[in-house]
């Protein structure tokens, strides 16, 4: 066995139990109800140099925050389409319709939003305590007020919006993303009825380990706790509600995951910790020579093949 092969074999069976808070199920029942309490959105068709129907989307998210994005459809108006709901990476945004042309070419609709408070046009405000620069450590004193809860309420409403669209086949909705987006894809697949999940190098997995070892977003928590170490028990308890290690066994749809064995951001151990808890049909693609790109174009091709196969396109 070569050393690069051993990188995978040494961690591929890794499992860990993250203690669930006593009210874990109650918390998610209440949060799912909150997400379903309101579904309000508007669509505005706009001209765009792409052979597709392009709409600006405006969704009412948690706390009546406006969440802005794109809704894209192939040109042909005589059909209903499977839809890919995409979630961008941390410090990202929904970019341009050009970025999603590969789905349109393969006969799929796309829904993509700027996640709240990050680089795009969606807002976010009103936390009770301070934080270091970034978003994910906002409100971590309480699971009911933290950024992740707001974010997941938004994402669950995105799924409900997708299912309500007349040009969309509600039985063929995939959630897809990488890094932060991959973590959200897993969490949304656990909390909503969707057909497929594609999670590239997912974050939000074994998060306590990530806080102590990751070089990216979870490091924000460590930076804050360096100043206020007395808050560590509350912060780590809150993260357990949103950890995909605890949510993974709720997933019912087929799942495709990627892991970069050189990844310093979404560490291989954390990805496998969540992946090995998934009980649904699943596949993981490990890339021994990749970092946070998680296979890059190779994985994007595999993901498209996975979606096309399951959507019979």
Q: Which two tokens stand for residue 141?
A: 């004193």
Strands laid side by side in the 282-287 sheet: 41-45, 52-60, 66-74, 109-113, 81-87, 168-178, 196-200, 255-260, 282-287
> Is residue 263 flagged as an active site residue?
yes
> Is residue 88 flagged as an active site residue?
no
- The strand pairing partners of 306, in sequence order, are none
Catalytic annotation, pick one of 179, 214, 217, 290: 179
Q: What whole-number distance in Å separates Cα of residue 168 and Cα of residue 165? A: 5
User: Which class for 241: exposed (0-12), middle (13-18), buried (19 or more C-beta within 10 A)?
Assistant: buried
> Is residue 179 flagged as an active site residue?
yes
DSSP state letters, 102-152: HHHHTT-EEEEEPPTTSSSS------SS--SSSSTTTTTT-TTTSHHHHHH
Any idea what DSSP says for residue 15? -
Catalytic annotation, pick one of 258, 263, 290, 293: 263
Catalytic annotation, pick one of 88, 214, 290, 292: 292
Q: So which residues are the catalytic ones?
A: 179, 263, 292
């Amino acid at each position: 066995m070569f050393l690069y092969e051993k990188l995978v074999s040494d961690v591929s069976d890794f499992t860990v139990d993250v203690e669930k808070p006593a009210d874990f199920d109650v918390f998610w029942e209440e949060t799912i109800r909150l997400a379903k309490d309101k579904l309000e959105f508007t669509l505005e068709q706009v001209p765009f140099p792409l052979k597709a129907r392009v709409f600006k989307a405006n969704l009412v998210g948690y706390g009546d925050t406006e969440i802005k994005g794109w809704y894209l459809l192939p040109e042909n108006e005589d059909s209903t389409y499977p839809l890919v709901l995409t979630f961008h990476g941390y410090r990202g945004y929904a970019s341009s319709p050009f970025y999603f042309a590969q789905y349109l070419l393969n006969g799929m609709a796309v829904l993509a939003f700027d996640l709240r408070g990050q680089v795009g046009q969606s807002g976010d405000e009103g936390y009770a305590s301070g934080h270091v620069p970034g978003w994910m450590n906002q409100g971590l004193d309480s699971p009911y007020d933290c950024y992740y809860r707001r974010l997941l309420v938004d994402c669950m409403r995105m799924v409900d919006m997708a299912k309500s669209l007349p040009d969309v086949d509600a039985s063929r909705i995939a959630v897809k993303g990488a890094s932060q987006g991959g973590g959200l894809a897993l969490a949304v697949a656990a909390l909503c009825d969707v057909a497929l999940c594609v999670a590239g190098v997912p974050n939000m997995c074994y998060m306590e380990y990530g806080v102590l070892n990751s070089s990216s977003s979870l490091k924000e928590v460590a930076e804050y706790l360096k100043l206020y170490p007395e808050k560590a028990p509350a912060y780590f308890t809150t993260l357990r509600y949103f950890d995909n290690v605890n949510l993974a066994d709720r997933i019912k749809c087929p799942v495709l995951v990627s892991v970069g064995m050189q990844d310093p951001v979404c560490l291989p151990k954390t990805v496998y910790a969540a992946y090995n808890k998934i009980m649904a049909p699943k596949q993981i693609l490990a890339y021994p020579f990749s970092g946070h790109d998680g296979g890059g174009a190779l994985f994007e091709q595999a993901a498209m093949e996975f979606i096309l196969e399951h959507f019979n396109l």
